[in-house]
Each structure stands twice: as C-alpha cells, then as structure tokens.
C-alpha cells in the first residue's frame, strides 16, 4: 500500500531534503510551510510525490485547515521539523510576544498537530520530532529556543509512555549543525557570535553537515529501524 508522510517546514533546509529522500522511496509526501513558493521549489524535485500545503502551524485555525486538507488520508510518518530560532537575545530584551511566538512554533505546534491528526495515523505510524542539542545544553541569549526544544523533548518522552499500548511510535533526533537558511541567519547575526565565526570557517573545518546528510540519517531511522530502536532514545546525527 502507498505510504504517506507529512513534514512540517518542507520548503527549505532539512525539511526539503527529507521530502526529496522520502519521495525517492516512492512515499507520498505532504509538505507544510507558510511560503508557497518555497514549497513549490521542493515539489519540483518530485511533482508526482510531493504535495504542498500552505499553512502556519503556530495557529490553531491553520492546524484545523491542515487536517481538512488531509481529510481521509491515513498517515504513516509525521515529521515535526518546522522551527524558528529567532529572536536570539538576552533576557533584558525578550518580549512576551517573542517568547510565545517561538513556543507556538517549536513546541505547541508539534504537540497540537499530533493531537489534531491522531485519528488519521495508521496503525504502527511513526512520529518524528526534530530536536536540537539546545534541548539539553543551555546557551546564553538562547532562552526561548532552548526552552522550546527542551519542552519538545519532554513531550517526546511523555508521548512515548502515552502511546505504549496504541501501536503508534514516537522518535526524536538531533540533526546536528547543518548548512541551512536557519543556520546561515544565525551565523550572520553579530550579536550571537560577536567574535564573528564565519560560515566559510565552519565549512572549512567540516563542522556543518549538509541537510541531505542529516536527512539520510533521519530517513534511515524512520524506515529501517524496529519500533523499539526507533523510540528508545533521542538520536544524534554524527
Ligand atoms: N540548522 C541547524 O544547524 C539545526 C541544528 C539543530 C536543530 N535544527 C532543527 O532542524 C529543523 C529544521 O531546521 P532548518 O535548519 O532546516 O531550518 P530552516 O531552513 O529555517 O527551515 C525551517 C522551516 O520551517 C518552516 N516554518 C517555520 N515556521 C513555520 C510556521 N509557523 N508554520 C509552518 N512552517 C514554518 C519554514 O518555512 P516558512 O518560513 O515558509 O514557513 C522553513 O521551511 C528545525 O527543527 C531546527 O530547530 C537545525
């Protein structure tokens, strides 16, 4: 039977690489993002397999719209990849609005999109959270992002227990530092890296993975592991 995947943030970076690689495995991939033109760029890699859905996952009404668009479709793989790291700022400058914005995208959206689509998950479906080392290691100026990813990690751990008798499996993976639009924007920001570590320097030292490299690891975890292996721990791309 035709397998179905849903990926948030499929228009760029890791999400785009995941969509391409799953499509190569003959999986139908629904990709979600706010910018339609970016989703269409991803769709161009495999027009028969990749289907764009323009939506903002941080808004409840837009998540309901996603459910409507996916009506009657039974999902094998749900990948919570979309996130933002911005703003990266010290405590004195964090506004309540900014903090809630990051939490809404990185934490609330994966939780409530899973809830919204629960009845459409096939038996033995797999949900994958894209985590970050920021879930576990504190950084100055990164309170909103670190908090959002740390909370996402706890959601993964709680759902693992909650799904124990449901035939649904949940995994988590830290994709490593990747050369994506998010990482380029971080490296451009002089407040975050005052000593100006350049993208070129990181590339020279081989400290950045390509999103294709990290996606390959994620796809292998999704498609080629037993349920026990899939959810036993948070994996780290290396
Ligand atoms: N890059 C790294 O070094 C790194 C390291 C560790 C973890 N990660 C994690 O890896 C994942 C992928 O990141 P990336 O580096 O590939 O970043 P990216 O290129 O910036 O991709 C993020 C994607 O999320 C989408 N998105 C953001 N907010 C959204 C919203 N409200 N609704 C729908 N879509 C939204 C964006 O599309 P639109 O703007 O069009 O909506 C974009 O396509 C993230 O979870 C990130 O935290 C990245």
Residue with CA at minimum distance from ligand 1 atom 47: 83
Residue with CA at minimum distance from ligand 1 atom 7: 132
- 3-state SS record for 44-106: CCCCCCEEEEECCCCCHHHHHHHHHHCCCCCEEEEEECCCCCCCCCCHHHCCHHHHHHHHHHH
1 C-alpha to center of ligand 1: Å?
A: 30
pTM of whole model > 0.95?
A: yes
Name the pLDDT band for 193 (thresholds 50, 70, 90): low
235: which strand partners? 173
User: Rounded mean pLDDT of 52-71?
Assistant: 97
Q: Which residues contact 76 (CB under 8 A, 6 or more apart)?
A: 3, 4, 5, 27, 122, 124, 125, 126
Domains along the sequence of the chain with CATH: 4-177+210-236 (3.40.50.720)
What residues does ligand 1 touch, defined as CB less than 6 Å away? Answer: 8-9, 11-15, 32-35, 38, 56-58, 81-84, 105, 130, 132, 175, 177-178, 180-183, 211
165 C-alpha to center of ligand 1: Å?
A: 31
* pLDDT higher than 90, residue 199: no
């Amino acid at each position: 039977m035709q397998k179905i995947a849903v990926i948030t943030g499929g228009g760029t970076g890791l999400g785009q690489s995941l969509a391409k690689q799953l499509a190569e495995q003959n999986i139908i991939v629904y990709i979600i993002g706010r910018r339609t033109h970016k989703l269409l760029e991803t769709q161009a890699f495999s027009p028969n397999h990749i289907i764009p859905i323009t939506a903002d996952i941080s808004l409840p009404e837009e998540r309901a719209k996603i459910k409507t668009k996916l009506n009657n479709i039974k999902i094998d793989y749900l990948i919570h990849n979309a996130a933002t790291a911005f703003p990266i700022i010290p405590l004195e400058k964090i506004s309540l609005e900014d903090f809630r914005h990051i939490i809404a995208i990185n934490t609330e959206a994966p939780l409530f999109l899973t809830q919204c689509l629960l009845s459409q998950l096939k038996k033995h479906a797999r949900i994958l959270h894209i985590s970050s080392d920021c879930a576990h290691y504190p950084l100055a100026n990164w309170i909103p992002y670190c908090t959002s990813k740390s909370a996402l990690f706890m959601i993964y751990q709680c759902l693992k227990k909650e799904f124990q008798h449901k035939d649904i499996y949940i995994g988590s993976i830290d994709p490593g530092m990747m050369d994506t639009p998010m990482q380029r924007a971080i490296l451009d920001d002089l407040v975050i890296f005052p000593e100006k570590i350049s993208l070129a320097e990181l590339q020279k030292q081989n400290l950045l993975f390509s999103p294709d490299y990290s996606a390959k690891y994620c796809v292998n975890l999704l498609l080629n592991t037993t349920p026990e292996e899939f959810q036993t721990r948070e994996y780290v791309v290396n």
